[in-house]
Amino acid sequence: MGRDRYPKQSLGSLHSHIKQSRILMVGAGGIGCELLKNLVLTGFGEIHIVDLDTIDLSNLNRQFLFRHEHIKKSKALVAKESAGKFNPNVKIEAHHANIKDPQFNVQWFKSFAIVFNALDNLEARRHVNKMCLAADVPLIESGTTGFNGQVQVIKKGQTECYDCNVKETPKSFPVCTIRSTPSQPIHCIVWGKSYLFTEIFGTSEDDAPELDHTEDSENAKELEKLRQESQALKRIRESMGSEEFPRMVFEKVFKEDIERLRSMEGMWNTRKPPEPLDYDEISQKALGVGSAIAQRDQIVWTLAENFAVFIDSLRRLSSRLEELRANGETGNAPPILTFDKDDADTLDFVAASANLRSYIFGIETRSKFDIKQMAGNIIPAIATTNAMTAGLCVLQAFKVMRDDLEKAKMVFLVRSTERVISVESLRPPKPDCPVCSVTQSTLIVDTSRATLNDLVQDFLRLELGYGEEFSVSSEAGILYDPELDDNLPKKFGELGVKGDSFITIVDEQDENPRVNLVLAISEKSLPEDSKPIHLAEKLDIARKPKPSTPIETNGHAVAVTNGVNGKRKRDAAEADLEDDLVRKRGKVAEQSSIAAQNGDVIVLDDSTNGAILIDDD
């Protein structure tokens, strides 16, 4: 009785259901550790944990199931060991693996009553979303960024899925802002990281995702000049290792290029012109600066200190590259270095170059610590946000398990003086969502015999009645469309379509097309005299709604706020850079205050047992 007493009192009849439930938690990091503790203490019967990673020193400040002695061990296994002690009645299974591995197939997902996502990247989230839709298992999706958190309940056919709303992609900057007219610290940091560092130690700037070339045509002349500058820098790169190399780089990027920019007519009418730096003058001042300055990452370095770190890190990185070259470890490919916020040499170089450039343009300089956050695109993870978000995940799960989806909500956690938690009603699936507004089924295939032609001609056209215009794709890309019929004689195996993978059929007819058909492949050896492909169950494929069809609301109130709906996900990996974040926070705060006016969060009396629950109905 002892251990069950309080969960029983507060959950009433749901408690025994929970005790018998088998659930899955994907990700055992910041949210995952908190969530696992909650799930174990709530008394779920069997909990499976999947995490591909090992424990890192930097996880310990908030991932409280892990200790120093666990560094380099599997997160899933250690989380199981640590949380298991909280409640020996709970069975925990740990999988040190990627959730995308084939053993975690639709059948396996079907074995869970509910799935919790505690992930940190879009790709894995999308995958679990897709699997839960295919298995028809409810998913509690969550994410945090700094003080912001979010919980979304996803149920096939009843709510929006993770992919119903387009997700933001990381922010990029116009090339001209970065290369010619920076006005904020982040512009200089992106310059240091994506231009200077890559031109000297990596491949070319054209590959940098932070640089947006879409404005190129408007600035063709200037861009041509910038290209010439890069070429000249590449030539200097050939002198790497020589005594003169640091001076050559410095004078090129902090003096000559700046003088050229300064001489450009019309560019500085409304802006303060940049001031080139003088190598001899600053190097004199930097004579007394010791190399220990690079370790002082919380202070803002002086011009001379930045100079000293720049020269020193340039030497360190040059010798690393020289060594790689000498060892010939990269075969025919030329060796390169890549920026990593946790690699001190690369961070020192980017921090010092960014600050030197800031001096030139009269922009505020930053500490190495700040630059690390901005260059690494990280927003600090906050243990409290994770803990609150994990708690909200479980409250939402209770509603799903009570079959009370009407009461389940989309929950937002924001840093606000008015109300920290705000909610929105769940919305029905978007009729044009390519992931959830589809027909799903399982296709039984004898992959040793079946060809793509068996699928396209016999199955889709003759059996299901598809017309001429449609495409078939696997996770690797398009296999067939009316212009691509080369693959038709090939067998499934040759096309890389195996058991537990998916194929998607997109009807491209103009007239009344069907919704996308997503087929999970189930491999089976079928008798020689039978068809090599057949459906596991009878199928009724819906037609796509006409564009003007109004969105059904299933009786839910349509949320008053739309502000963040198209841009719901924010997690550290996908988050925008600093300045943009401030703007977004503003938006979320605005929304939370509207929700607050609606009085969405209340304390209620649980009718089942008289216990007080804080709920978010």
Ligand X SMILES: Nc1ncnc2c1ncn2[C@@H]1O[C@H](COP(=O)(O)OP(=O)(O)OP(=O)(O)O)[C@@H](O)[C@H]1O
390 binds ligand X (CB under 6 A): no
Query: Regarding beta strands 517-523 and 139-145, do their DSSP bridges make them parallel or antiparallel, or are they unpaired?
Result: unpaired
Q: Is 366 annotated as a binding residue?
A: no
For residue 343, the one-letter residue type is: D
Q: Is 375 annotated as a binding residue?
A: no
Cβ proximity to Zn ion, 274 vs 428, nearer residue: 428
* Residue 592 backbone class (left: φ over 0; alpha: ψ -120 to 50; beta: rest): alpha
Closest CA to 42 of 106, 90, 114, 109: 90
Cβ proximity to Zn ion, 322 vs 475, nearer residue: 475
Tell me which of Zn ion, ligand X, none is bound by residue 53, counting a contact when its beta carbon lies within the kind-specific cut-off of 5 to 8 angstroms.
Answer: ligand X
73 binds ligand X (CB under 6 A): no
Q: How long a stretch of residues is the chain?
A: 617
> What's the token pair of residue 488?
């038709």
30 binds ligand X (CB under 6 A): yes
> What's the token pair of residue 399?
């509603």
Footprint (CB under 5 A) of Zn ion, residues 273-332: none
Footprint (CB under 6 A) of ligand X, residues 425-484: none
27 binds ligand X (CB under 6 A): yes
Stretch that binds Zn ion, among 26-34, 136-144, 162-170, 189-197 (CB under 5 A): 162-170
Cβ proximity to ligand X, 55 vs 423, nearer residue: 55
Q: How far is the CB of 601 from ligand X (least distance, A)?
A: 26
Tell me which of ligand X, Zn ion, none is bound by residue 436, counting a contact when its beta carbon lies within the kind-specific cut-off of 5 to 8 angstroms.
Answer: Zn ion
What's the start-to-end Cα distance of the chain, in Å? 30
Cβ proximity to ligand X, 233 vs 381, nearer residue: 381
51 binds ligand X (CB under 6 A): yes
How far is Cα 140 from Cα 400, in angstroms, rounded to an integer?
A: 9
Q: Is 176 a catalytic residue?
A: yes
CB atoms inside a 10 Å sphere around CB 602: 9
CB atoms inside a 10 Å sphere around CB 359: 19
Q: Following DSSP, what letter does each residue of 88-134 receive, concatenated?
A: TTSEEEEEES-TTSTTS-HHHHHT-SEEEE--S-HHHHHHHHHHHHH
Structural contact between residues 143 and 132, judged by C-beta atoms closer than 8 angstroms: no
Stretch that binds Zn ion, among 244-252, 410-418, 432-440, 538-546 (CB under 5 A): 432-440
Q: How far is the CB of 225 from Zn ion (least distance, A)?
A: 46
357 binds ligand X (CB under 6 A): no
Q: How far is the CB of 121 from ligand X (least distance, A)?
A: 5
Footprint (CB under 6 A) of ligand X, residues 112-131: 119-121, 124
Footprint (CB under 6 A) of ligand X, residues 265-284: none
Q: Which residue from 28, 153, 388, 455 is in contact with ligand X, where contact means CB under 6 A?
A: 28
Stretch that binds ligand X, among 8-16, 28-36, 283-291, 463-471 (CB under 6 A): 28-36
Q: Is 60 annotated as a binding residue?
A: yes
Closest CA to 589 of 148, 152, 166: 148
Classify residue 501 by burial, with Cβ atoms within 10 Å: 0-12, 13-18, 19+: middle
Q: Which residue from 24, 47, 65, 99 is in contact with ligand X, where contact means CB under 6 A?
A: 99
Q: Which residues contact 350 (CB under 8 A, 6 or more apart)?
A: 189, 192, 193, 196, 197, 339, 371, 375
Structural contact between residues 299 and 367, judged by C-beta atoms closer than 8 angstroms: yes
Q: How far is the CB of 357 from ligand X (least distance, A)?
A: 28
Residue of minimal Cβ distance to ligand X: 29
Tell me which of Zn ion, ligand X, none is bound by residue 148, counting a contact when its beta carbon lies within the kind-specific cut-off of 5 to 8 angstroms.
Answer: none
61 binds ligand X (CB under 6 A): no
Q: Is 132 annotated as a binding residue?
A: no
Stretch that binds ligand X, among 52-60, 204-212, 324-332, 516-524 (CB under 6 A): 52-60
How far is Cα 329 from Cα 45, in angstroms, rounded to an integer?
A: 51
Cβ proximity to Zn ion, 162 vs 245, nearer residue: 162
Q: Is 393 annotated as a binding residue?
A: no
Q: Is 188 annotated as a binding residue?
A: no
Long-range contacts of 534-539 (CB under 8 A, 24+ apart): 534/443, 534/444, 534/459, 535/441, 535/442, 535/443, 535/444, 536/441, 536/442, 536/443, 536/444, 537/441, 537/442, 539/439, 539/441, 539/464
The radius of gyration computed from the CA coordinates of the chain, to the nearest angstrom, equals 29
Q: How far is the CB of 102 from ligand X (least distance, A)?
A: 13
Catalytic residue among 33, 176, 188, 393: 176
Stretch that binds Zn ion, among 31-39, 305-313, 370-378, 425-433 (CB under 5 A): 425-433
Q: Is 596 annotated as a binding residue?
A: no
How far is Cα 552 from Cα 549, in angstroms, rounded to an integer?
A: 9
Q: How far is the CB of 429 from Zn ion (least distance, A)?
A: 5
Closest CA to 382 of 119, 63, 147: 147
Q: Is 244 annotated as a binding residue?
A: no
Stretch that binds ligand X, among 46-54, 81-89, 165-173, 262-270 (CB under 6 A): 46-54
CB atoms inside a 10 Å sphere around CB 271: 11
413 binds Zn ion (CB under 5 A): no
53 binds ligand X (CB under 6 A): yes
Q: Is 73 annotated as a binding residue?
A: no
Q: Which residues contact 230 (CB under 8 A, 6 or more apart)?
A: 199, 204, 205
Cβ proximity to Zn ion, 277 vs 438, nearer residue: 438
Q: Which residue from 436, 520, 572, 575 is in contact with Zn ion, where contact means CB under 5 A?
A: 436
Q: Following DSSP, what letter does each residue of 451-518 receive, concatenated?
A: BHHIIIIIIIIIIT---S-EEEEETTEEEEBTTB-TTTTSBTGGGT--TT-EEEEEE--SSSPBPPEE
Tell me which of ligand X, Zn ion, none is bound by residue 30, counting a contact when its beta carbon lies within the kind-specific cut-off of 5 to 8 angstroms.
Answer: ligand X
Structural contact between residues 366 and 185, judged by C-beta atoms closer than 8 angstroms: yes
Footprint (CB under 6 A) of ligand X, residues 543-582: 572
Q: Which residue has the tokens 């408007």?
A: 218
Stretch that binds Zn ion, among 63-71, 163-171, 485-493, 498-506 (CB under 5 A): 163-171
Tell me which of Zn ion, ligand X, none is bound by residue 59, counting a contact when its beta carbon lies within the kind-specific cut-off of 5 to 8 angstroms.
Answer: ligand X
Q: How far is the CB of 405 from Zn ion (least distance, A)?
A: 16
Active site residues: 176
The footprint of Zn ion (CB under 5 A) covers 161, 163-164, 433, 435-436
Positions at the binding site for ATP: 27-32, 51, 59-62, 75, 120-125
* Binding-site annotation, residues for Zn(2+): 161, 164, 433, 436
* Binding residues for ligand X (CB under 6 A): 26-30, 32, 50-53, 58-59, 75, 98-100, 119-121, 124, 381, 572
